[in-house]
Amino acid sequence: MTDRREGFANKVTKEAPSAGLMNGRRANERLARAVAWRVPTDTEQKTFEAHKTLKTYAEFLVAAVEVDDESWILMERVWHGFPDPPRWIFIAFDPNGRTICGGDFDHIPTNWTMPEGAILPLEENV
């Protein structure tokens, strides 16, 4: 069994999420759920910083959460808005570290509760 205290850090694979997994039905189902996110652990943050593929999607790991048997991460991009991709990207991993789905969006869903201090004003992120 995976040690859930380290969340996605124990599960994530080196593979990139497939473009076909982005913003599909699975992602939309997860975006609609009420979720209370938490600050990433030190181990999760180090795993993100060392992960070559995830760092190509976004510059910051903002939050993480375990939902049922999945691990979700929320990342933020420095460069966003047309013609660049949206500000936020989330990815859900299964218990074996495979990507289930992901989603890009401009605004955090209102049904998601973010940890205090996780979302900084834009000018503080650049």
pLDDT of residue 7: 52
pLDDT score recorded for residue 56 = 85
Report how many domains make up the chain. 1
Q: Tell me, what DSSP letter sits at residue 76?
A: E
Q: Count Cα neighbours of 99 within 13 Å in the Cβ-side half-sphere.
A: 21
Alpha helices in the chain (DSSP H): 25-31, 42-50, 54-57, 122-125
**Using an 8 Å Cβ cutoff, are 10 and 87 in contact?**
no
Q: How far apart are CA 110 and CA 62, in angstroms?
A: 16
CA 50 to CA 104: how far, in whole Å? 22
Over its length of 126 residues, how does the chain's per-residue pLDDT go in tens digits?
A: 344 445 555 445 445 444 445 668 898 899 999 999 999 999 999 989 998 888 888 999 999 999 999 999 999 998 888 888 889 999 999 998 888 999 888 888 999 999 987 776 554 444
Cα 81 to Cα 23, 70, 84, 87, 106, distances in angstroms: 17, 29, 5, 7, 8
Q: Which domain holds residue 42?
A: 4-125
Q: Which helix (H) or strand (E) holds 72?
A: strand 70-76
Amino acid 112: pLDDT: 93
